[in-house]
Amino acid sequence: MRTTIELPDLLVQEAMSLTKIPTKTELVKFALENVIQREKIRELTNYFGKINLDMDIDKLRNR
């Protein structure tokens, strides 16, 4: 998908320097992937304490 966006030069330069990503396109893809991953992890924290993981390994093996 082609999209035209205006990005602050200083932010792009700093991000490219820190990540060693050579192109703006790759940098934006990397940033989007990281946002998605972070949000999925945040959603997982909503399940904390709600899933019963108290399993008997011997009972599972005998299934």
- Within 8 A by CB and 6+ apart from 19, the residues are 27, 30
How far, in Å, CA of 28 to CA of 34, rounded?
10
Q: Looking at residues 11-34, what average pLDDT do you find?
A: 97
More confident site: 48 or 13 = 13
Delimit the domains of the chain by residue range: 9-61
Closest to 16 (Cα-Cα) out of 4, 31, 28, 27: 27
Q: Is the pTM of this model over 0.85?
A: no
Residue 44's pLDDT is 85
- Does the structure show a pLDDT above 80 at 52? no
Residue 34's pLDDT is 97
- Within 8 A by CB and 6+ apart from 24, the residues are 7, 12, 16
